[in-house]
Amino acid sequence: MLALAGCGGDGEGSAPDAAESADPSKVQSLVLPADDFPAGFEVQEIPADQLQSMTDQILEETKNAEITPASCVQLGLMPEHVDTSDVGLAVATSGTTNLGTAVTTTSPSMADQRAALSGKCAHLTVKMTSGAAAGAEGTVDQKEVPAPASRADEALAVEQESTSTVSGTTTETKSLLGFATVNGYTVTVQYTSLNAGDLDRAVFDEFFVSAVDHVADATS
């Protein structure tokens, strides 16, 4: 959820006036409609207060996490609060697979995104120290993969494999993530499954392009 709400690129090298022209009040209307999600995925209705509560909890737990190498995730620079009313969000499920997209007006630069998943940052270890997830430990292995062609000003796609161990039980998750800047807005896509075999790169590519081009059409 936090990845969708707060991660992305703001288009290193994009024109400053493009970012300044992005309007937070429009982000909800820029999210890909439920009818445009892939067949078999059911879009979930998340009440605004529940979404804010979930985001606050995840943000707090993430800021207090122990991440190695520490330099790969600058927890001290994370905001104290993310106002989810400034985030356009849609999340859908199909079995053990989740597919979501978000639209925001602010995020780290694309250069920072690439630096945070390459070199020594390609493998991370994480230990949660607070909240409901306290005591959980995990790993994240990530790498950049080719982003599908779209109308984005700049785009980045990431493949992640992660493990999470809670009370002796380990869960493995595979994800495909996409980040794009479009006319001052940041579009994020996340495709995750507890069963790696359920992830279809073609589904991710088509969904990413649809989400990005929907924003491009609406803001051209």
Cis check for the bond before 24: say yes or no (omega within 30 of 0).
no
Q: What pLDDT is recorded for position 63?
A: 82
For the record, the structure tokens of 3 come out as 């990845």
Predicted TM-score (pTM) of the model is: 0.86
Q: Is residue 96 exposed (0-12), middle (13-18) or buried (19+ Cβ within 10 Å)?
A: exposed
Could you read off the pLDDT of 12-31 as tens digits, one per residue? 334 344 445 789 999 999 99
- Find the mean pLDDT for residues 160-182: 94
Domain encompassing residue 155: 2-219
83-87, 154-158, 181-185 — which is least confidently predicted? 83-87
Write the CA distances from 34 to 23, 155, 183, 185, 203, integer angstroms. 22, 23, 23, 20, 15
70 neighbors 128 (Cβ within 8 angstroms) = no
Q: What pLDDT is recorded for position 161?
A: 94
For 163, residues 6+ apart whose C-beta sits below 8 A from its C-beta are 138, 139, 170, 171, 172, 173
Query: Rg of the Cα trace of the chain?
Result: 17
CATH number of the domain bearing residue 25 = 3.40.1000
CA gap 93, 78 in Å, rounded: 28
Write the CA distances from 56 to 14, 18, 156, 170, integer angstroms. 30, 29, 26, 25
Could you read off the pLDDT of 38-72 as tens digits, one per residue? 999 999 988 889 988 988 888 888 888 999 998 88
Number of domains in the chain: 1
